Amino acid sequence: MPQTVIFLEQVARNSRLNKHQHFHAAERNLSYNNIFGSAAIVINVILGSVLFVTVSNNLPEAAKWASGFMAMIAAVCGGIQTFFNFQKLFEGHRRIANNYLELQRECEQL
C-alpha cells in the first residue's frame, strides 16, 4: 500500500477521533452553561419573591438567612458562568469539531 494512502487513512482516523472529542467537549460546556445559568435564574426568581414578601410582611430570621445564602449562591453561579464563558467554549469546540469532520470527509473522498 502506498505511503500516501496509509497517511490519508491515519489522518481520517485521527480526524474522526478528534471530531468526537470536540463534539463531546462542546456538549459538556453547553450543559455547564445551562446548569449554572438556570440555577442563577431560578434562585434570583425565588429571591425576588422573598424580597416582595419581606416588603409586605416580616419574615422569620431563618428565612432572611436562607435568602442571603441563596443570593450568594446565585452570585457564585453567575460568576462561574461569566469567568469560564461556557458558551464561547462550546462554540469553539463545535467549530473545531466541524473542521475535523470536513478534513475527515476530504480524506475519505481521496
Rounded average pLDDT per 10-residue block, the chain, 110 residues: 82 87 91 87 81 70 80 86 86 90 84
Q: What is the pLDDT of residue 109?
A: 81
Q: Report the number of distinct structural domains present in the chain.
A: 1
Q: What is the pLDDT of residue 73?
A: 87
49: domain range? 3-109
| Torsion 54-60-61-64 (CA) sign | negative
Q: What is the pLDDT of residue 55?
A: 64
Q: What is the pLDDT of residue 95?
A: 92
Nearest by Cα to 12 from 110, 96, 107, 109: 107
Q: What is the pLDDT of residue 56?
A: 62
Q: What is the pLDDT of residue 1?
A: 65
Helix 61-84 with 3-56: angle, nearest 10 deg: 150
